[in-house]
Chain A
Amino acid sequence: MRALVAILVVLSLAGAYAAGRYGRVSSLDLSTVESFRAALDDWDLLARSYRFNGFLQTLNADELVPALEALEAKRDWLAKEEVQNFLFAWARFDPAGALDWALSQNKYRRKTTVPAVMYSWGFHDPSAAQSALETLEESLVEEAAAQMIAGWTHGGDRAGAFSYVAAQPAGTARQKSLGALAAALAREGAESLILWVDTIPTSEAAGYRRVAFQQAAEALARVDPVRASHWIETHLESDYSGPALNAVALRWTEQDPEAALLWLSGLPASGTRAQALQKGVERWLKWDPKGAEAWLISVTPAEGLDQAVRTLVKRYARAEPSRAIGWAQRIQDPLTRELVTTGVGRTWFRRDPDAARAWLSESQLATSLQQAILQAPTPSDVEDDRRAEPVVADDEAA
């Protein structure tokens, strides 16, 4: 009997502990306005987000007025995404009312509130959202349209969104819409995105295909740069691959610069590739100069990397010309190497002839290159030249 009592006591204590431990989250009734108010007063980000969004999952017309009052009382403390989520919930059952409220905000807040409503409206009822879009003032339309299309795509009616964007007149608004559409598709997977662009009918204007391709490459490179690079390679011959190549270079460099630059340097030589390489190296140098330089030193010099090396030459040309000339010697194309070396050397010689001359005498540069550099006019020559110029030119320069 005693043993049975002891077991019952232990079990009941364990049950009470478990009820306290595992029931604390589920016991909250998140659907009440009271819970929503508590969320707005909660500075613990996780608890706040849980209660805030838990309430919004069931927000309905009956609770809207007290919920909105609670929200507006804490307006200054709200994060942007909290307002957006509130509007998303509101626009589920009363998009016109949500839009009116969004439009009543000051001009800074309108920039985020109106697109948030249009995202939700596009998500739930794209047809009505299109009509609402036409009532907006011009300064709000582009971003609102882009978000409506993103919502429309996420809502599931991709074909409708595609048709709508294709029917937009060419211009920045359509470019923005294509960007929003591409980003929304990229979130759902690379294949959806690629399929969309690769099946754009040839009857569409070339400009439309070009912008769609560029926006898709950019969006895909953000989420999967390796997949984006494979896709781009199948389009390198097209006349619209340049901006897309740049976009992939930049996005991939942000994530894995070594892989991105190796890929770019292995592509067939072209002006487009050179530009993409330059952009990639510049981006890398900006956030990790030591890493970028170390990588360029570690790889075997190749013509494909000349543009990247030139970016480094440019970086050091003014502050450390000897270092810049050292980098220039890694340029593989002989003519380019000579031109770049001479250019940097001459600029140095003009600014500080003694230092340049002293360095050159110790350098391993070919005699012809040294002579070419030393032929640059010195500062005193330049001063004499300036004196000889007409006075009018000086006035204009001033």
Chain B
Amino acid sequence: MSALPLALWVIALAAAFALGRDGPPAQHNAGSVSSLRESLDQRSPIDRSFGLSLAFTQLNAESFEEAIAVVEADPARWSEPDFRLLMAAWTRFDDLEPVDWALSQRGTTRSRAAGAVIETLAFRDPLSARSVVDSLEDADLADKLHDKMILGWARSDFRDDLSALIAAMPPGIRRQKAAAILAIEIRKDGAEALIQWAEDIPDDARANFKEIVFDKAANSLALADPAHASRWIRTHLGRSYAARAAGVITQRWLEQDPVAALDWALTLPANANRDETVASGFASWLERNPVDAEAWVLSSTPAPAVDPAVRVLVRRDYLPKPASALDWAHRIDDPGIRQRVLAAVGRSWFARDPEAVKSWLPESGLEQQIQHVILHSRPKRLATGEEGTAGLDLELDDLTVGGE
């Protein structure tokens, strides 16, 4: 055989191989539908997912009818991840039919299947997904599918249009959730992308959109890197759109490193919701880990910034352990607040157990003026004019820091 025909034959073989490899999916064979059924029976979740993805890969447009019959025969066995695989396969051939089919289902099947198809559709064609969601009458389903649409859209190549769409949405929970989903997806591209997105929102964006984006961006960034989030938000403190962001970061940071979170919160300027941030952050730490939280207060140098945390401790103890509450109150750095809190706790205790207070006061070390207030001031009155223990709680407003 001469060289030319041989070369042509080799090229033809290679072309045939490539055509087979890169051509349309293998035609339907009965095995893929039966392997679909077998996969559903797998006990191991790995074998199940593997079998389903393989079976779906081998189905073509015609054989999907049989596959759908398998689903319809026992829809309760199909989880949302299962439906995502199904829809990923089905929407390769047709967009509308899977949507119509999913919406024609009932109950949880409808919700799972429609969620999967809308997420898949939004990834490829967000406007079509949006028109489907907007046409739904079932408000609960529409809310769920809206989240799925935002998720698919946020992961798509059309993400740039999404922020403007969310900004234009009416205020409410849907808008908030959409901004949160977008923040999480943008952060996957790095902290700088997230920060850029938030900072590019105009300060006067409608319906507090910049504030919402800052909250969600701070939350998303702090989940991954709270120190980075704290450095970022410090450059925006005092701006109205960043009013809540420091509190959001503190809460996320507390879940990872409470001491670092609270130490950072103490450094916030007093006019940047510092007291509320310290109080709410410390309260949640105290609830989860009282030993460490109390140790942190004891190891902190008394200062106005620490006072909100101390007042959380006073409020916790004033009813069950008034003597302990008074001990804590002594640690309040601001003299005016300290006196008011000591008097409020003392009066509350005196109203419930005057004999105990009378015997305790001489040994208490409290100033004479405060002792006098405790023993002789009448509790504040209720609006109804009735005296009672509820009135004492009103006095204890002195113990509360906004935001607790």
Contact = CB atoms under 8 A, between A and B. Distances in A.
B301 interface: no
Interface string A154-177: 111000000000000000000000
Given A21-B20, A49-B50, A155 B43 contact: yes
A45 B88 contact: yes
Contacts of B402: none
B13 interface: yes
B397 interface: no
Given A13-B12, A46-B56, A395 B46 contact: no
A21 B60 CA distance: 14
Given A255-B106, A256-B106, A16 B77 contact: no
A88 interface: yes
B400 interface: no
A interface, how many residues as a size bin? 35 or more
A53 B106 contact: no
A56 interface: yes
Given A53-B53, A222-B76, A254-B108, A46 B89 contact: yes
B169 interface: no
A20 B21 contact: yes
B interface, how many residues as a size bin? 35 or more
A53 B16 contact: no
A77 B141 CA distance: 26
A300 to B, nearest CB: 24
B107 A20 contact: no
A85 interface: yes
Contacts of A123: 43-44
Contacts of A24: 20-21
B20 A223 contact: no
B255 A107 contact: yes
B45 A85 contact: yes
A122 to B, nearest CB: 12
Contacts of A223: 74, 76-77
B107 A251 contact: yes
A93 to B, nearest CB: 13
Nearest to B14: A16
A377 interface: no
Interface string A47-83: 1011011101100000000000000000011010100
A17 B16 contact: yes
Nearest to A252: B107
B16 to A, nearest CB: 4
A287 B57 contact: no
Interface in A78-108: 79, 81, 84-85, 88-89, 106-108
B292 interface: no
Interface string A4-23: 00000100111011111111
Given A18-B20, A396-B384, A88 B85 contact: no
A22 B44 contact: no
B365 interface: no
Contacts of B383: 395, 398
A230 interface: no
A392 B13 contact: no
Contacts of B23: 20-21
B50 A50 contact: yes
A6 to B, nearest CB: 12
B336 interface: no
A16 B188 contact: no
A44 to B, nearest CB: 8
A25 interface: yes
B152 to A, nearest CB: 11
Nearest to A254: B107
Contacts of A44: 88
Interface in B1-55: 9, 12-14, 16-23, 26, 43-47, 49-50, 52-54
A286 interface: yes
Interface in A347-398: 392, 395-396, 398
A226 to B, nearest CB: 12
A290 B138 CA distance: 10
A56 B138 CA distance: 40
Given A50-B54, A56-B46, A392-B384, A255 B20 contact: no
A21 B26 contact: yes
A154 B48 CA distance: 13
A13 B13 contact: yes
Contacts of B74: 223
Contact of A81 (B45, B88, B384): B45
B363 interface: no
Contacts of A34: none
A76 B183 CA distance: 13
B91 to A, nearest CB: 10
Interface in A253-273: 253-257
A92 to B, nearest CB: 9
A187 interface: yes
13 contacts: A20-B22, A22-B20, A45-B84, A49-B53, A53-B50, A54-B50, A76-B187, A76-B224, A81-B49, A81-B81, A222-B108, A254-B108, A392-B385
